[in-house]
Amino acid sequence: MTFTYRYRKQIIIIIMVVVLLIGITSFTIYKILNNNKKDDIVVEDKLQEKKEVKKEELLKVDIKGQVISPGIYEMRLNSRVIDVIESAGGLTEDADTSVINLSKKITDEMVIIIYSKRQVEEFSKTKEIEKQVAKKCMDNEEYSITNDACIKVNENKSIGKININTATKEELMTLQGIGESKANDIIKYRDENGGYQNIEDIKKVNGIGENLFASIKENITT
C-alpha cells in the first residue's frame, strides 16, 4: 500500500483547506483594493466639490481712488466695502469716506471709488446737500463710472439723520422734544448698554414714549 493511498483522505482535506484559504485571501485582497479605489474616488469628488465651492465664493471687485493700492481684488462672498479697502492696503491720508457705506456687502464686478477730501467738499457745495451729495457720489464725472459703494438717499442710514449711537448732546438736542436732560439720558443709556441696535431701542430711555418717538423717528438712525 502506497503512502498516497494510505493518507489520501488527509491529503484531500489539506488540498481543500489550501484552496479555501487561497479563495478567502484573494477575495479579501479584492475587497481591500476595491474599497481603496472607492475611497480615492470619494476623496477626489470631495476635493473637486471643495474647489468648485471655493471658486464660486470668490468675487472680483474694482477699487479706485484714495487707497494705497487701487486695482481689482478677489474677495470672499459676504465681504464688505471695508474689507476691500483693507485688501487694497488701506486709505490714503487724503481719503474721505463720509459718503461711502463701509459696511455694504460687495457684489461681483462691483466698482468702489474712495474720494479725496477735496472731491467730497466740492460735492457738498451744491444745494439740497443730502440728495446732491449722494447723487454726485454715485455719478461722478471725474471717473465717468458709477460708484456702487455710495450711501443711497433711501438707505436707513442716509445722510442728514442723527445717528443716536454717535451723536453729541448738541446734535441730539436738535431733535424735536429732546432737551439737554433727555439728550444726556440718551447718551447715558447707549454708554451703559453698548449702543442701540435699532431706532426703536431709544424708547427704552426714561421719558421717551410712543408720542415723542413718533415725532423723531424719521430724523434718527443707528
Decide which of 185 and 161 is more confident: 185
Same domain, 25 and 86: no
Where does a domain end: 56, 73, 89?
56
What is the DSSP secondary structure assignment for residue 8, as one 8-state letter?
H
The pLDDT, as a whole number, for residue 81 is 92
Same domain, 172 and 132: no
Same domain, 51 and 88: no
pLDDT at 17 over 60: yes
Same domain, 134 and 212: no
- pLDDT grade for 154, boundaries at 50, 70 and 90: very low
Per-residue pLDDT of 76-118, as tens digits, reads 988 999 999 999 999 999 998 888 888 888 988 889 999 998 8
Same domain, 41 and 63: no
pLDDT at 179 over 50: yes
CA distance 148 to 63: 10
Is residue 188 a part of any domain in this protein? Answer: yes
pLDDT at 61 over 90: yes
Using DSSP's 3-state secondary structure scheme, residue 208 falls into: coil
Domain count, the chain: 3
Backbone angles phi, psi at 168, to 5 degrees: -80, 170
Residue 111 pairs in a beta bridge with 62
Query: What average pLDDT does range 151-161 have in this prediction?
Result: 52
Residues contacting residue 215 through CB under 8 Å, at least 6 positions apart: 176, 177
Same domain, 10 and 38: yes
Residue length, the chain?
222
- Three-state SS string across 10-25, please? HHHHHHHHHHHHHHHH
DSSP class per residue in 30-80: HHHHHHHHHHHHHHHHHHHHHHHHHHHHEEEEEEEESBSS-EEEEEETT-B
What is the Rg, in whole angstroms, of the alpha carbon atoms belonging to the chain?
A: 35
Instruction: Provide the whole-model pTM.
Output: 0.41
Query: What average pLDDT does range 180-191 have in this prediction?
Result: 88
